Chains A and B, each alone.
Chain A
């Protein structure tokens, strides 16, 4: 099956800092999603981004499907950005990466 790798596995940020999370996948896909799992366990859809760039407030994402990676940018991080960020690709079924644990400190 398809392999989905996320890096880094952990990230500690000071409030106000910027960061980039990466998602690599091993095969061509036409569907990539980014999710945020908040400290209460809720999975929140951030982006559906098979290719190109999208922005939503302080978050943006870019997928380069031909090179098999996607990036999630967090700008001016806030404590509410803490949690785990997952990317997931559909290759038949939805395959999740292991996630990046983000902690934003005041």
Chain B
């Protein structure tokens, strides 16, 4: 199994509070991704990173920001959590980009915003 951990694994927070989710990898892969999974929508890309301090938006990036200060860590921040951000969040990694990339997923973080 790819060495990917996510923390916390479960979190309940209140509307309007900031939340940061962490993804940590031990594979030294260049590319990292954040997805959310919701019933009826499958997995959707929030943000991704193609190197330290290099990030870009995915298809559902509104309300989220990311940072990557080290190869091994990719942080997802909800500046002011809303109930619509209740979801399961997955981090993924790959060692290449685009059509040759095989992605590996972390265990997920279940976030509930009340």
* A and B interact physically: yes
> How many whole Å from A78's CB to the nearest CB in chain B?
20
With an 8 A cutoff between CB atoms, is A48 at the interface?
A: yes
Q: Are A96 and B102 in contact (CB under 8 A)?
A: no
Q: Which single residue of chain B is at the shortest CB-CB distance from A35?
A: B105
Tell which of A29, A42, A93, A99 touches B58, judged by Cβ atoms closer than 8 Å. Answer: A93
Contacts A93-B45, A93-B58 hold; do A42 and B108 have CB atoms under 8 A apart? yes
With an 8 A cutoff between CB atoms, is B77 at the interface?
A: no
Q: Are B103 and A94 in contact (CB under 8 A)?
A: yes
Interface size class of B (residues with CB under 8 A): 20 to 34
> How many whole Å from A66's CB to the nearest CB in chain B?
15
> How many whole Å from B3's CB to the nearest CB in chain A?
14
**A45–B106 CA distance with the chains assembled, in angstroms:** 11
Which residues from chain A contact B104 at a C-beta distance below 8 Å? 45
Interface size class of A (residues with CB under 8 A): 20 to 34
Which residues from chain B contact A48 at a C-beta distance below 8 Å? 102
> How many whole Å from A98's CB to the nearest CB in chain B?
5
Tell which of B45, B58, B103, B108 touches A33, judged by Cβ atoms closer than 8 Å. Answer: B103
Tell which of B42, B92, B98 touches A92, judged by Cβ atoms closer than 8 Å. Answer: B98
**A47–B58 CA distance with the chains assembled, in angstroms:** 24
Which residues from chain A contact B88 at a C-beta distance below 8 Å? 41
Tell which of A31, A91, A96 touches B43, judged by Cβ atoms closer than 8 Å. Answer: A96
Closest 9 CB pairs of A and B: A30-B99, A43-B105, A48-B102, A31-B99, A96-B42, A96-B43, A90-B99, A98-B42, A41-B108
Residues of chain B touching chain A, judged by Cβ–Cβ distance below 8 Å, are: 33, 42-43, 45, 48, 58-59, 88, 90, 92, 98-105, 107-108, 110
